[in-house]
């Protein structure tokens, strides 16, 4: 089945230690999104790629970076995680910015 896959499902890191979260998709969608979702809160869009074009949300901290080496893969890099970065990180894809977004299962990040 076509799907959005996120690895790892759970990630524990230390305060200030860089961490990379991975997303891959078999849907061949042009657009890939990264969201941050804290407990009992709405998902918050961090940035998205339309093909190789990167779009950063104005309030996304510089600590968060992203890479998309090809259509199938997208990475979220957190350069120096703080305690406030502990959250669920959701990857989503869509065939265009006007189309429905499909979410992966998420990576739950814990910062010690």
Sign of CA dihedral 104, 43, 95, 73: negative
Nearer to another protein, 2 or 17 (CB): 2
Which phi-psi region, left, alpha or beta, contains residue 97 (left: φ > 0; alpha: ψ -120 to 50)? Answer: alpha
CB 82 to another protein: min, Å = 22
CB 27 to another protein: min, Å = 13
**Under the rule (CB under 8 A), what is the footprint of another protein?**
4, 6, 31, 33, 40-43, 45, 48, 55, 88, 90, 92, 94, 96-106, 108
Q: Which of 79, 80, 77 is nearest to 107 (CA)?
A: 77
């Amino acid at each position: 089945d076509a799907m959005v896959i996120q690895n790892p499902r759970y990630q524990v890191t230390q305060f200030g230690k860089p961490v990379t979260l991975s997303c891959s998709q078999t849907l061949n969608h042009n657009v890939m999104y990264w969201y941050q979702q804290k407990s009992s809160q709405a998902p918050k869009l961090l940035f998205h790629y339309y093909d190789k074009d990167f779009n950063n949300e104005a309030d996304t901290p510089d600590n968060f970076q992203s890479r998309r080496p090809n259509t199938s893969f997208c990475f979220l890099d957190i350069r120096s995680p703080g305690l406030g970065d502990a959250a669920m990180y959701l990857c989503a894809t869509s065939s265009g910015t006007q189309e429905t977004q499909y979410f992966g299962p998420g990576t739950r990040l814990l910062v010690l």
